[in-house]
Structure 1
Amino acid sequence: MELIEEIKELKKYKEDNDLTIAELARKIEADDTTVGRWLKGEVKPSFYSLHKVRRFLSDTKTLKELKTLETFSDEVNRDHIQTESDINYLKQRISVLSDIEDLDTLVTELNITTKLGNLMRDAHNTPF
């Protein structure tokens, strides 16, 4: 008997997650012997059991999508934190550059004061 699509997906989920039949059966709230027979293709699930399998598969897909979104969200948060850090660094650098511009003014004033001091010295050393 060929497996129906939902049971193929269930079997793939079991293999991908390295589950025993008993573990898988607990997850879908079904009898492990029955689940084992579904996976072997010996019997098809009843309408109610098929509904539970579909609901389980839908929930696992939704959970997987949410984990993908969480991963994306984590990446966005890391990028946001890094961007804030970069902005703070740039603000510090701009502040330092502003201080340097203030120093330029002080250096200019110091040069003028030095020239005036030299003129005064030369004036005092010159005989009248």
Structure 2
Amino acid sequence: MELIEEIKELKDYKENKDLTIAELARRIEDDDTTVGRWLKGGATPSCYSLHKVRRFLNSIKNSEDPKPLGSFKDKVTREREQTKKDIDYLKQRITALNDIEDLDALVTELNVTAQLGNLVRDAHNTPF
């Protein structure tokens, strides 16, 4: 009997990790006799057992795959750089707002000076 793809992967995993059938069966939460028959081609897993095998294979693929961690680090780095840019932008805006507040005080001073200038001019234009 030809082994289905999932059982081939399971068999490769067992051999690569040098596991006994009992250890493998415990990891996929199934009976060791049944798992042994699958690996030898004497039986095909039921739909439910095949689901458990697939779930196990997916879990080991996800835990052994360094790619997701690398992409996570890349994402964190990009987010950190964007945060730095946002902070720099906000600092520039705060500086600009402070400059505007300084300008407000300067405009007020200029208005007062202009009013005083108008008063002096009017005083010189008015005969005594």
TM-score, scaled to structure 1: 0.57
Structure 2 CA distance for aligned equivalents of residues 67 and 95 of structure 1: 42
Aligned AA for 2:90?
L
Structure 2 CA distance for aligned equivalents of residues 125 and 75 of structure 1: 73
Stretches of structure 1 that go unaligned for 5 or more consecutive residues are 11-43
Structure 1 CA distance for aligned equivalents of residues 64 and 110 of structure 2: 69
Stretches of structure 2 that go unaligned for 5 or more consecutive residues are 19-56
Whether 2:51 is the aligned partner of 1:51: answer no
Root mean square deviation of aligned Cα: 2.8
Partner of 2:48: none
The alignment covers a number of residue pairs equal to 86
SS at match of 1:127: coil
CA displacement 1:51-97 (0-9 Å, x = unmatched): 23x47x9xx93552x11010011111111111111111011001000
Partner of 2:104: 104
Structure 1 CA distance for aligned equivalents of residues 2 and 15 of structure 2: 19
Partner of 2:76: 76
Structure 2 CA distance for aligned equivalents of residues 101 and 107 of structure 1: 10
SS at match of 2:82: helix
TM-score, scaled to structure 2: 0.57
Structure 2 CA distance for aligned equivalents of residues 100 and 119 of structure 1: 28
Shift of 1:6: 5.0
Structure 2 CA distance for aligned equivalents of residues 2 and 99 of structure 1: 79
Structure 2 CA distance for aligned equivalents of residues 110 and 6 of structure 1: 86
Percent identity over the alignment?
61
Aligned AA for 1:75?
K
CA displacement 1:10-44 (0-9 Å, x = unmatched): 7xxxxxxxxxxxxxxxxxxxxxxxxxxxxxxxxx9
